[in-house]
Amino acid sequence: MLTEIRVYYEGHGLLMPGFSQFFEQLRGRARQRGCAFRLVAGGSGAAACRDFGRALKSHPHSWNILLKDSEGPDTGSISEALAWSMAGLDLNRIRSSGWWR
């Protein structure tokens, strides 16, 4: 069961107020459903990717999301992590729960 939404982003913690405002509606919907919402500042792109990768393992009941600058094409590491993450999700269960409605 989805218990938390965790958004990892590349950048300084000073960006948090802007991201908080951007995700205000999602945060409210999560709260209505008893689901926690957390923004996680990653600092550098490498650190954000590292933290996101760790979260996939340490927070399996969370929806872990990574926001990263595209300073160039993905060399495969992000795509691989995302594919691994998606493989662990039961998308039919998420869709049928109507969570986002």
Closest CA to 66 of 49, 47, 80, 54: 49
Q: What is the pLDDT of residue 43?
A: 86
Rounded to 10°, the helix 77-87/45-58 angle is: 20
Q: What is the pLDDT of residues 6-24, one digit of tens each?
A: 999 998 999 999 999 999 9
User: Was domain 4-97 assigned CATH 3.40.50?
Assistant: yes
pLDDT bin (cut points 50, 70, 90) of residue 68 is confident
Closest CA to 63 of 31, 93, 86: 86
Domain locations in the chain as residue ranges: 4-97
Q: What is the pLDDT of residues 20-67, one digit of tens each?
A: 999 999 999 999 989 999 999 988 888 888 898 899 889 988 889 888
